[in-house]
Amino acid sequence: MPRLALYDIADTAGFVGAIVNRSGLTLSWSDREDLEQFLLATAWEISLTFDPGKGSVGFSTYAGSILRRRTHDWVRQRNGRTIWRFGDGRVHERPRPFLLSLNMDGPDGDRLRSTLDEGVGDPAADCDPDRERLLGDGDRSRDRDYAVLGLDPPRRTA
């Protein structure tokens, strides 16, 4: 397979692999592949805007600093951000969200289903006549509200 060479980087895939190795992240095989592909695509994108005559640094230095930052972006995109550090020294930390299974929280492992299957609710007793009126009237109740307040309802446009 041919190697992708960008400016002074002879093997961009190897360059990206070295950045992932130095990142210190513990990744599964598939996550590592995803990160390397993300960084390789990013390297290609930044090579399109790099101007070698404009600065004194080479593309490898320029790309290396950007790709290290994009590694953190990738991790935040996959796992979410939990720590914010501000310039005045404040730090805000939010715990990671976790999933709570509603099907496996009972002693028999199926508490939610057994609760729903009991059927203890009485539809006739649960019916509130005011609620039924509000749901049934819709916009017609608005005219009644204006009448109670002693106001003329706004004219409706066709």
pLDDT in tens, 73-101: 998 888 777 888 899 999 998 887 777 66
Tokens representing 138? 């819709």
Structure confidence at residue 69 (pLDDT): 94
CB-count burial class (<10 Å; 0-12, 13-18, 19+) for 20:
buried
Instruction: Report the C-alpha gap between 80 and 50 in whole angstroms.
Output: 30
Is the residue at 120 inside a domain? no
Structure confidence at residue 7 (pLDDT): 83
Is the residue at 28 inside a domain? yes
In the three-class reduction of DSSP (H, G, I as helix; E, B as strand; rest coil), residue 29 is classed as helix
Is-contact 59 8, C-beta < 8 A? Answer: yes
What's the structural domain count of the chain? 1
Is the residue at 43 inside a domain? yes
Is the residue at 105 inside a domain? no
Structure confidence at residue 81 (pLDDT): 78
Structure confidence at residue 19 (pLDDT): 94
Which range marks the domain in which residue 57 is found?
Answer: 12-82
Please give the sequence-ordered ranges of beta strands (E in DSSP) within the chain, or none if there are none.
Answer: 83-85, 91-93
Is the residue at 89 inside a domain? no
Is the residue at 115 inside a domain? no
Structure confidence at residue 80 (pLDDT): 78
Tokens representing 113? 């289903």
Is-contact 82 96, C-beta < 8 A? Answer: yes
The residue ranges of the chain whose pLDDT is under 70 are 1-2, 100-143, 156-158
Is the residue at 17 inside a domain? yes
Burial call 63-100: b when 16+ CB within 10 Å, e when fewer: bbebbeebbeebbeeeeeeeeeeeeeeeeeeeeeeeee
Is the residue at 145 inside a domain? no
